[in-house]
Amino acid sequence: MNSAIRKYWPQYKWSNVFAMINNMKRHPRRNTEPFGDKLVVITGATTGIGYYTARKYAAMGAHLIMVNRNPEKSELVRREIAEEFGTPTEYVIADLALLTDIQRVGQYILSLEKPIDVLIHNAGVHIESRKETPEGLEVNFVLHYLCPLIITRMLMPKYQRDRTGRIIFVSSEAYRFAVWGLELEDLQWKRRRYSGVKAYGAGKLAQILSMHILAGELAPYNITINAMHPGMVRTESGKDNGRLYQWYKKNIIDKYSNSPEVSAEALYYLGASPKVTHTSDVFFHLTTEEELAPPARDLEAAEALWKRTRELFHEKGVAL
């Protein structure tokens, strides 16, 4: 930790923080061009940001594949979108905290003949106490980092063949809570006292660092990959947390937050606008490009994380 402080402290700038605060006041850019007949894959699309994003793309004519955990909610959303917009909509049921389900989803998408025009990694969670998957992995780490990484890596042959597509991570300014970077010796939070906010931030930081690696791998295939902060929005995130968090969410977060429809507009712009066709490896605050904090632009840390991740994949039998 001391070495991380020495490394990152001189790189922190108040201008970076002020820019983030100013970006909170900005409205997202909008794209009014239709997206007819193009294929969009969205994870976590039954509520919140994912739900409104699915509706937005459907309203603009896109074909949808949703990856959700709940079959009943998925069918309701599918039927609603099909009846209201008349666009082809289907869903895949999976628990994206499980490596087996993640790989199954990746294999299914890989088998599609139609090119994936937009892949939106939206599924996420906010929890107060440490939860471990049956495979022995911390939930934040899997959902926010391993899941989008595995699916994206599995789709490399398809992207190489199709030579078209945009990938968007629904990220968060909360990556800044990992002030001194990732603890590579304890990515699963087994040794340290667990903090829901810090673990969430660490998962999002890992996600952003993986974006740098993936951007380089995808560039030869004309595929872009970006991350975006969806703004402060009213969602069901953290609905199972304790009373204190529920009070804070209801009286503070939700009171000053926007509708998820604002985030959906931003995600449509980033996925469909010709103005960002060639933009890649960028962090957006809604639709405004934003300079990352020092730990999130550390390419050495990204390589070190990728090395540890390959070791984990080998241990868990994940072939990528």
d(CA 286, CA 263): 7
Domains identified in the chain and CATH numbers: 2-314 (3.40.50.720)
Contact between 270 and 166 (Cβ < 8 Å): yes
Contact of 236 with 257, CB cutoff 8 Å? no
pLDDT number for residue 238: 43
CA distance 63 to 44: 16
Q: What is the mean pLDDT of each run of 10 residues along the chain (320 residues)?
A: 86 94 92 95 97 98 98 98 96 98 98 97 93 95 98 98 98 95 96 93 98 98 97 58 46 62 97 98 98 97 97 90
* pLDDT score at 1: 66
Q: Give the pLDDT of residue 258.
A: 75
